[in-house]
Chain A
Amino acid sequence: MNQKYMVPLAGVLLLFLLAYAGVEGAGMQWFFGIIVPYVAVIAFVGGFVRRVMGWAASAVPFRIPTTCGQQKSLPWIKQNCIDNPDKASGVFMRMVLEIFLFRSLFRNTKAAFNRNEKNKLTYSWEIFLWVGALAFHYSFLVVIIRHLRFFLEPVPSCLKFLEFFDGIVQLGLPGLFISGAVLLLAALFLLARRIFDAKVSYISLAADYFPLFLIIGIAASGIAMRYFTKVDIIGIKSFTMGLVTFHPVIPDGVGGLFYAHIFMVSALFAYFPVSKLMHMGGIFLSPTRNMANNNRAKRHVNPWNYAVDIHTYEQYEDHFREKMIDAGLPVDKKE
């Protein structure tokens, strides 16, 4: 069992040390700071597109949404237009709620069985996974958007606005960004769930722990740089601007921790398209959610539909004609 998370943990530590030592010991700033990020971004974009194109290339032979509410039927029966949509507008709303609010996960329940004289199975609303997932994804999103300040000059006012709200608690100096702390805590919560919830632990693979450790590593190193080691922001900005303008430069005075951070981010980018993290793209294409339940009203065409052998009425009647005639059932041919 330990192997499932010890190996990924060791892997992430190794990544960290590799970059740290590579920079501090071997002076390989150009490798970890320039080559690796470019390769990672290319792998990410190329891999992501390839994966989505791969899905798109597969046919959608049948319209099979999972219906989670009343269908459109008689005019006086109230349809659930979102959970059982028959129109594109309903599907759109369903997808928006799914993608932005994790609606299906919001329904989550926890089953419990009490072996006593009543032997009751009970189901209670289980909100923590939803809260954890939402906190994780949104804080990650805010962190990513905040990081755009390193790649844009001048920094757009909407980013400053976001930073203002992210730092609204005004704690410490430099001021605490809530998003970074929430990201770290949410990732730790998801990790704890994987380790301590017997069911989730049982189903978890090394590939489930690896991205969590990686993201925890990224968040922790980022927080460390901002609040504790206080890296040279001016130097880093010149470095990141160099990357986006394709005139990469290696700044002086930026240490191994920063390169370890960049290296782990690069690893996450490169790993993304070959991993389960592709759920980010997959959710848009999931046929049980993105299709309308209107197959009886509007014919869906299967691109690979083919003719099949069937047992025809003629064959059937030939087989049973006498019995049918004896029973007084109508037949097409009397003989």
Chain B
Amino acid sequence: MSDELKPDELLDKVDHTPSQGTWMTESVQIRPGMYCYAAKPESVETLGLPNARSWNPMEADWKLPENWQEIIHNGIKDRLEKFRTFKIFMDVCVRCGACADKCHFFLGTGDPKNMPVLRAELLRSVYRNDFTTAGKLLQKIPGGDKLGGGRPLTLDVLKEWWYYFFQCTECRRCSVFCPYGIDTAEITIMGRELLNLLGLNIDWIATPVSNCYQTGNHLGIQPHAFKDMLDFFTEDIEEITGVDVAPQFNKKGADILFITPSGDVFADPGTYTCQGYMILFKYLKDKYDLDVTWSTYASEGGNFGFFTSHETMKRLNAKMYAEAKRLGVKWILGGECGHMWRVINQYMDTMNGPADFLEEPVNPITGTKFENAKSTKMVHITEFTADLIKHGKLELDKSRNANRVMTFHDSCNPARGMGLLDEPRYIIENTCDNFYEMPINTIREQTFCCGSGAGLNAGENIELRMAGGLPRANAVKYVHDKFGVNTLGTICAIDRAALSTLMEYWVPDVEVYGIHELVGNALILPGEQEREMDLRMEPLPGKEEADE
């Protein structure tokens, strides 16, 4: 990874002053390290999406259907009618530039086309040319195109769309600062939908989508293997705590269905967060007889369909309600994940509801009604755990996290597509004594993306990811240097994978933790042995010598 471009070399390239000239006429240079491989045809075929074939972005011929311009034109037209956001955002931008330096990809790469306004202009220029009165009139005058800022949809423009719509993580930071609320995520979503009409997806999205559709989760873990993974964790936890926390699967009549991103089951350090959930559920089962089940069918909280098209998102998300209905649970609890929660909070009920077969969620242990989730009937695990802690229902030993000097990374989607800010912080404060916030312009609604969201967490685009993650890493480094922070807490599965790589690159002394890993360490299980190790099998603070 880092043998390709050292941090210092990457920093040398950062320059936020665009060159002279106009962006419209510069044709796109697709550069290795900055793009993801093309979708494999078999993955595109699984869901019957258009134009499955093998193709390579570096080759001139992208094997497009002959009438591709017509397909895009009709696709734009259709979406202008279906989405008011799209139509307004195409029309009202005044190019004031407030968003320009808000994007982590612009800050990390200095590429002017990563300024949110220009990313949108890539599409807007075609919209102006083909769909506005002014654009159509101006086309008739020689040079008129330029005056109106329009340009025809050429192959070069299409390639530019592909390159830059897959350099946006749909994090919405720019949208916070836009005086009209223009949301580049929304434009990128439309852009990617249009590209998908021509089969122009990336494999890091298409294959997880295909896996999720067939197997139930992005990683394609089959049901028995999914169970095996949790069985491994059960063994590890038993070794650490002496308690058997074996989870239940596909259990009909359970109280709660629990769904979390499969990354937690399969990829370190998310696996430790997963163990945190398992310890919590065991505790609640033993103490309060709460019956939680996992599902192997709905074994994916994340939804890479969201990065493909609205329809694909709906097709993948449908499993959550379908499984809850089949199992006859009361309501659904969701794990720590970013875009999963954007989908649940802002799309799920509308797409696949009403969930009238579920009950309005109530925490049976505290009696708290989750009023904010009474229609969708899905509760975020940090809402759930924070409620338990507030009511004194969890016995926590903070000292077991005493060697953690924490800071917290707000994940983009829970921050700007939900507003889940204080729940995770409350849990951190109750499970750990050392907590320092990063600078105010880099947290909460102004948080910086990990640089790998929205399906861009691949290996081949590592330069893009490390550059895009620079603003986040830079803020972590600040608290690392100032307060000795050694742990970056997060509530997102992509973050747990992406930030680990990012920290290794920029701030090597900082480890990435899920919030429920802290809970898993601190929670005192009934009948547990004296713990010597944390969930990572590292000695607990004060137990270091016993280890030798």
Contact = CB atoms under 8 A, between A and B. Distances in A.
Interface of A: 1, 3-4, 7-8, 51, 54-64, 66-78, 80, 83-84, 86, 98, 102, 104-105, 107-111, 113, 115, 119-121, 123, 129, 133, 193, 197-200, 202-208, 274-276, 278-279, 282-283, 285-289, 293-302, 304-305, 308-313, 316-317, 319-320, 323-324, 326-330
B383 interface: yes
A306 to B, nearest CB: 8
Interface in B390-449: 390, 415-423, 426, 439, 441-442, 444-446
A59 B423 CA distance: 34
Interface in B52-79: none
A203 to B, nearest CB: 5
Contact of B112 (A110, A202, A302, A312): A202
A193 B94 CA distance: 13
Nearest to A199: B100
A70 B179 contact: no
Contact of A121 (B107, B112, B347, B375): B107
Interface of B: 11-12, 14, 16-23, 48, 80-88, 91-98, 100-102, 107, 112, 115, 117-118, 121, 132-134, 146-149, 172, 175-183, 186, 213-214, 216, 222-224, 227-228, 249-252, 296-297, 310-311, 314-315, 318-319, 322-323, 326, 344-347, 349-351, 353-354, 368, 370-376, 378, 383, 386-387, 390, 415-423, 426, 439, 441-442, 444-446, 470-471, 474-475, 478
B386 A66 contact: no
A316 B216 contact: yes
Given A74-B386, A294-B372, A329-B249, A68 B95 contact: no
Contact of A283 (B85, B92, B354, B415): B92
B81 A203 contact: no
Among A301, A310, A317, chain B packs the most CB atoms within 10 A around the CB of A310
A289 B87 CA distance: 15
A80 B419 contact: yes
Given A193-B97, A297-B374, A302-B350, 4 more contacts: A1-B22, A115-B12, A305-B350, A324-B224
A285 B180 CA distance: 9
Interface of B is mostly: helix
Contacts of A80: 419
A323 B222 contact: yes
A57 B81 contact: yes
Contact of A323 (B21, B224, B323, B439): B224
B349 A300 contact: yes
Nearest to B383: A73
A102 B179 CA distance: 6
A172 B296 CA distance: 82
Contact of B375 (A57, A62, A86, A299): A299
A64 B91 contact: no
A104 B115 contact: no
Contacts of A327: 223-224, 227-228
Contact of A285 (B88, B121, B176, B349): B88
A207 B80 CA distance: 22
A309 B315 CA distance: 6
24 contacts: A1-B22, A57-B81, A58-B81, A59-B82, A61-B82, A61-B83, A73-B370, A78-B422, A107-B176, A121-B470, A198-B17, A203-B100, A203-B121, A278-B91, A279-B92, A279-B179, A282-B92, A286-B182, A296-B378, A297-B373, A299-B350, A310-B319, A316-B216, A329-B250
Contacts of A111: 16, 101-102, 107, 471
B350 to A, nearest CB: 5
A209 B216 CA distance: 53
B14 A113 contact: yes
Given A102-B179, A105-B179, A133 B96 contact: yes
A289 B181 contact: yes
A274 B134 contact: yes
B421 A70 contact: yes
Contacts of A204: 95
Contacts of B183: 64, 66, 288
A259 B353 CA distance: 61
Contacts of B175: 66, 288
A311 B183 CA distance: 32
Contact of B115 (A8, A199, A275, A305): A199
Contacts of A278: 91-92
A200 to B, nearest CB: 4
A320 B384 CA distance: 33
A286 B88 contact: yes
Contacts of B420: 71, 73
Contacts of B87: 54-55, 58
Nearest to B88: A282
Contacts of B84: 55-56, 58-60, 285, 287
B406 to A, nearest CB: 19
A133 B176 CA distance: 17
A332 B422 CA distance: 41
A308 B322 CA distance: 13
Given A203-B117, A300-B350, A66 B318 contact: no
